[in-house]
Amino acid sequence: MKREVESGSELELTRRELFVGAAASAAAGLPAVAAAQQSAVEQPAISKVSLVINGRAHSLSLDNRTTLLDALREHLHLTGSKKGCDQGQCGACTVIVNGRRVVSCLTLAVMHEGSQVTTIEGLGSPERLHPMQAAFIKHDGFQCGYCTPGQICSAVAVLDEIGRGVPSHVTADLTTQPLLKVDELRERMSGNICRCGAYSNIVDAITEVAGVRT
């Protein structure tokens, strides 16, 4: 390639000069690209979400990527539901949505527009415990307590499932009611991990609330 100088003479461009010029041109465009990328990051998609949580209506403006768990903990300060694995494996974040238990770290808040959500705070209070909460205390159904909110919410939903005759993977006879054998309860509660190992006490608490001895 050639370039002209003021005298009108032509000089050969060296490869070094060519590469330096190309690099300078590319670098000049980087700030604009970076600014555009930063702008995209700073402007997430926001949606209005209406939820009825523990009997109270809430209207939230949330990033579409916000999980139900983060909406509860970070936006409504209902910190009873715990963030354990954040991958849906431990069950510590279990809540009840429209009567069914849900692992709240794996579902987006925007998916539950208008839903009825019950957290551990909505089941009872220190002054007026839910029967399942009282049974967990009586039978030492916890040690460190981190998984306990999810365990209790799941246990309450399990008894509702059994009352409706919903089978589990180990149900041998659908005509047997109630489905409250130990292997049934362990299977139904298997999505809730207790690293302290209080499983037998949890079963005792659930069966007491159900009014059945095993």
Note whether 165 and 200 are same-domain residues.
yes
Note whether 198 and 156 are same-domain residues.
yes
Q: Cα(85)–Cα(192) distance, rounded to whole angstroms?
A: 11
Q: What is the pLDDT of residue 23?
A: 65
Amino acid (1-letter code) at residue 48: K
Collapsing DSSP to helix, strand or coil, 86 comes out as: coil
Note whether 75 and 133 are same-domain residues.
no
Q: Judge contact between 93 and 82, C-beta under 8 A.
A: yes
Q: How many CA atoms lie within 13 A of 57 on its CB side?
A: 3
Point out the domain boundary residue: 123, 145, 169: 123
Which DSSP helix (H) or strand (E) runs through 41?
helix 15-42
Which range marks the domain in which residue 115 is found?
45-123
Note whether 82 and 35 are same-domain residues.
no
- 178 preceded by a cis bond (ω within 30 of 0): yes
**Token pair of 168 as six digits:** 């589990």
Q: What is the total count of domains within the chain?
A: 3
Point out the domain boundary residue: 123, 145, 179: 123
Q: What are the angstrom distances between the C-alpha of 164 and each of 80, 148, 154, 168? A: 27, 24, 15, 12
Note whether 133 and 214 are same-domain residues.
yes
**Token pair of 212 as six digits:** 């059945």
Q: Cα(128)–Cα(78) distance, rounded to whole angstroms?
A: 18
pLDDT in tens, the chain (214 residues): 555 545 554 555 676 776 666 666 666 666 666 666 666 567 789 999 999 999 999 999 999 999 999 999 999 999 999 999 999 999 999 999 999 999 999 999 999 999 999 999 999 999 999 999 999 999 999 999 999 999 999 999 999 999 998 999 999 887 777 778 899 999 999 999 999 999 999 999 999 999 864 4
Note whether 38 and 107 are same-domain residues.
no
Q: How far is CA 112 from the centre of its chain?
A: 13
Note whether 135 and 173 are same-domain residues.
yes
Q: Cα(148)–Cα(130) distance, rounded to whole angstroms?
A: 13
CATH number of the domain enclosing 63: 3.10.20.30
Point out the domain boundary residue: 123, 138, 155: 123
